[in-house]
Amino acid sequence: MPDAAAPLLSVENLKVHFAIRSGVFQRQVGEVKAVDGVSFSIGSGETLGLVGESGCGKSTTGLALMGLVKATEGHIAMQGAEDVTQMRSIPRSYRRRMQIIFQDPFSSLNPRQKVRDIIRAPLDIHGIGTVEKRRTEVAKLMSLVGLRPDQADNFPHQFSGGQRQRIGIARALALRPDIIVCDEPVSALDVSVQAQILNLLADLQKELGLSYLFISHDLGVVEHVSHRVAVMYLGKIVETGSKEAIFTNPLHPYSELLLRSAPAHDPRKRHKFSAVSDDIPSATRKPLGCAFHTRCPLATDICRQAEPQLELKADGQSVACHHR
């Protein structure tokens, strides 16, 4: 069961800003606020689904947690450890506890390495176990994720997309982390294989008590895997709450729009989708006030001027909207 009382990971006011440089001297001419003040926590054994459309900053959030892009501001703290954002480099003791699975199982595995070496790399880097122990550990990890250990000497190209994603999962599990950041882990896979990987992730969570930050644009997938959900729009979390709350009673107009836009899987429940295009801004030209006001049916003057803050409404459901 998710333990909300003592979060395993808490993130506060995380910001990742990128400089836009131009000209011969690469002077900074602007800034992209990819992640702009994001706070959330994840309990032990819990899955937080982070959902949003392209460019909303969900992947950058995941990369910042892993220390793969540098956070501009904010606090990231793991239970029983210090705030890592204040340090010059992220300590290995932190990295050991958080690992990542990437979207593309083709580019995230070194094509020149044998599967054995790919999965073993984290153990080597952290100096865990003897050489013999690492060998048996690789075999164990491979069977854990549903690969045949006798394929350990094969190269990534000898595996299908789904199997490659399993290799990525085995590598992420090697250090027995507490949390895995899953960055669109099934988006590149065919539907039938996608279900295999989602089932595997669910099994591993049950078996090992893992927590997931599950980043995805696919509402069906997020609803299936998550305990709690956070909806992101242009660098901010606009709504967060339990899966049930978000999917049955969304409060933010953007969450509503997302749910309304998902195709029905029943020809009798067809939508009457409007063909009208709306004014979709991007992170480089973010509107003032509430970033969603250009597309929002509820927008009034206050939305164009003041940015709404995330406020607790009911039952752990928070929303950033002047009208809700």
List residues near other proteins by CB under 8 A: 53-54, 160, 162-163, 190-196, 198-199, 202, 217, 219-221, 223-225, 247, 257-280, 282
> Residue 138 or residue 198: which is nearer to other proteins going by CB?
198
- CA torsion, points 231, 65, 36, 299, in degrees to nearest 10? 0
Query: CB of 287 within 8 A of CB of 281?
Result: yes
- Residue that has been written with the tokens 């950058």 in this structure: 60
> Residue 74 or residue 156: which is nearer to other proteins going by CB?
156
> Residue 30 or residue 263: which is nearer to other proteins going by CB?
263
DSSP tag of 85 = G
Minimum gap (Å) between residue 293 Cβ and other proteins: 15
Minimum gap (Å) between residue 215 Cβ and other proteins: 15
> Residue 209 or residue 263: which is nearer to other proteins going by CB?
263
Per DSSP, the three-state class of 101 is: strand
Query: CB of 284 within 8 A of CB of 277?
Result: no
Minimum gap (Å) between residue 250 Cβ and other proteins: 12
Minimum gap (Å) between residue 52 Cβ and other proteins: 9
Per DSSP, the three-state class of 209 is: coil
* Residue-level length of the chain: 324
Minimum gap (Å) between residue 316 Cβ and other proteins: 20
Taking alpha carbons only, the member of 111, 134, 132, 104 closest to residue 121 is 134
> Residue 93 or residue 282: which is nearer to other proteins going by CB?
282
> Residue 136 or residue 199: which is nearer to other proteins going by CB?
199
Q: Which helix (H) or strand (E) holds 55?
A: none
In sequence order, the β-bridge partners of residue 289 are: none
Minimum gap (Å) between residue 202 Cβ and other proteins: 7
Minimum gap (Å) between residue 272 Cβ and other proteins: 8
Please give the C-alpha separations between residue 241 and each of 48, 100, 170, 232, in angstroms, as whole numbers.
10, 24, 30, 12
Q: How far apart are CA 305 and CA 120, in angstroms?
A: 53
> Residue 221 or residue 319: which is nearer to other proteins going by CB?
221
Q: How far apart are CA 103 and CA 19, in angstroms?
A: 25
Query: CB of 194 within 8 A of CB of 186?
Result: yes
